[in-house]
Amino acid sequence: MSRICQITGRKRMVGNNVAHSKLRTKRTFQINLRRKKFWSESEQRFVTLRVSAKGIRDIEKNGLDACVKKAQEKGYVGIV
């Protein structure tokens, strides 16, 4: 499974390692993903999602059902 947040759609970023001599080599910045269970009030069950730290904050702020609905519209998560 690829490392993509199911709520925000965030993926890894690509950048450069910069040495003291200013020599640049490619590197990747991985996102802070966690597998976390959330309680869904509408379905009365736990839902397990792979979410980033920002995704967890979005769910706490807006609610799970609103975030999952928005993610489904954008195609980040299938039917949960």
Give yes or no for residue 10 having a pLDDT over 90.
yes
Express each pLDDT in 34-50 by its tens digit. 999 999 999 999 999 99
Q: What domains can you pick out in the chain, each with its CATH number?
A: 13-74 (2.30.170.40)
Integer Cα distance of 33 and 49 in angstroms? 10
Contact 6, 49 (CB under 8 A): yes
Local confidence band at 79 (pLDDT 50, 70, 90 cut-offs): low
pLDDT for position 1:
62
Express each pLDDT in 18-37 by its tens digit. 999 999 999 999 999 999 99
Q: What is the pTM of this model?
A: 0.82
Integer Cα distance of 20 and 24 in angstroms? 10
Burial of 15 (0-12, 13-18, 19+ CB in 10 A): exposed
- Beta-sheet pairing, 33-40 with 45-52: antiparallel
